[in-house]
Amino acid sequence: MAGQILFFALAVTAIAAGVGVVWSRSPINSALWLILNLFCIAGLYLTLNAQFIAVIQILVYAGAIMVLFLFVIMLLNLSEMPSVTRFTIARLFGFFLVMGVLALLTYAVAAGLDVLPERIVPAAAAVSGSPSTLARSLFTEYALPFEIIGILLLAATVGAVIIAKRKPV
């Protein structure tokens, strides 16, 4: 039961944060909502037994990509940016409280309809998302896609340098 409530809490918060990304007037608020959404999805990966994916979700997405986004927002320093709504801890508490109540309600409705999520039990032994399991297929079966990703990242580096360093016309 605790696992199911956990799923609903993460799912409801993820959806609310996703709506927040789209709804916020200020790009900074959108970015902060997106970070909350990424953390919730990382929690969902944990419930799916994909530990390594959950960790790199936080490392790469929340840690690096979102830093780049916030960075560009500050780099551009938009003068017409709408003022950010005042952030208070009370509002944060309120948000999580409302999400918790909504998650409980969803859980109750799902329990009433008898469609609660159960563990995904695969036919074979459970797939572990540990790094060594992933490495076994990543570096043997998927070696060529792995190298192509290297070329993609190289192209991204070169392209971004060329585009960003060009002198303004």
Report the candidate in 66, 69, 71, 68 with the shortest Cα–Cα distance to residue 41: 66
Query: Closest separation between CB of residue 44 and another protein, Å?
Result: 6
Query: Closest separation between CB of residue 98 and another protein, Å?
Result: 16
Query: Closest separation between CB of residue 28 and another protein, Å?
Result: 10
* Beta-carbon-side half-sphere exposure of residue 54 (alpha carbons within 13 Å): 16
Verify binding: residue 98, another protein, rule CB under 8 A: no
Radius of gyration in angstroms for the set of CA atoms belonging to the chain, rounded to a whole number: 20
Instruction: Name the CA dihedral angle for 149, 154, 156, 159, rounded to a multiple of 10 degrees.
Output: -150
Verify binding: residue 56, another protein, rule CB under 8 A: yes
Verify binding: residue 97, another protein, rule CB under 8 A: no
Query: Closest separation between CB of residue 52 and another protein, Å?
Result: 7
Among the listed residues 87, 91, 105, 117, the single contact to another protein using CB under 8 A? 117
Verify binding: residue 36, another protein, rule CB under 8 A: no
**What distance in Å separates the CA atoms of residue 103 and residue 157, rounded to the nearest whole number?**
42
Work out the number of other CB atoms within 10 angstroms of the CB of residue 37: 21
Verify binding: residue 45, another protein, rule CB under 8 A: yes
**What distance in Å separates the CA atoms of residue 147 and residue 156, rounded to the nearest whole number?**
14
Verify binding: residue 53, another protein, rule CB under 8 A: yes
Verify binding: residue 84, another protein, rule CB under 8 A: no
For the segment 61-80, give every residue that binds another protein (CB under 8 A): 61, 63-65, 67-69, 71-78
Among the listed residues 30, 95, 102, 104, the single contact to another protein using CB under 8 A? 30
Residue 79 structure tokens: 């003068």
